[in-house]
Amino acid sequence: MSATPVMACVALGANLGDAVATVQQALRDVAALPDTLLLKASSLYRSAPYEAQGPDFINAVALVQTQLNPLALLHALQALELQSGRERPYKNAPRTLDLDIVFYGDVTLTTPELTLPHPRWHERAFVLQPLAEVWPERVSAAQLAAVQHQAIQRMG
């Protein structure tokens, strides 16, 4: 555990099976992680696959306060992916659930297992749009404009 709670941002996505139900359950599961409190969750968004394959994705972003260190949080999220039937047959394969740490406080980290902040968060409408909803100060108009060509739609 880290000494003090840290705010982290987790991106959620799924495009296999009942993706809406999977992402909704994943939000509940993230909220139930040990030493972790869900602060805010975005609406669900439907997006066309970006650098990936398969049907449209259902995406969301969650802001959590956690005492788990970055690798412990990563491993907890990977366990939730496995629990949902996540397989990794090849890069960017369709997935039952994908959970990525976008930010972990102000931590900058590069290891073979984890890079923080997520190296491509600012290139992806499916992260930027829901992030702008729950943490508008973190997303600039220029960043949103740069991804406006990517198909994404807020759901309800």
* Domain-located, residue 126: yes
Identified catalytic residue from 29, 46, 95, 124: 95
* Domain-located, residue 1: no
pLDDT of 1: 46
Residue 95 is a catalytic residue: yes
Identified catalytic residue from 46, 98, 120, 138: 98
**30 HSE (CA, 13 A, CB side):** 33
| Number of Cβ within a 10 Å radius of residue 7 | 16
Identified catalytic residue from 28, 35, 56, 86: 86
Query: How many structural domains comprise the chain?
Result: 1
Q: What is the pLDDT of residues 86-106, one digit of tens each?
A: 666 556 556 789 999 999 999
* Domain-located, residue 136: yes
- CATH code: domain of residue 84: 3.30.70.560
Range of the domain at 43: 6-155
* Domain-located, residue 100: yes
- The pLDDT-based confidence of 152 (bands split at 50, 70, 90) is very high
Residue 28 is a catalytic residue: no
Residue 86 is a catalytic residue: yes
Which two structure tokens, joined as six digits, stand for 61? Answer: 């972003």
Q: Which amino acid is residue 64, in one-letter code?
A: V
pLDDT of 52: 74
* Domain-located, residue 59: yes
Higher pLDDT, 84 or 112: 112
* Domain-located, residue 16: yes
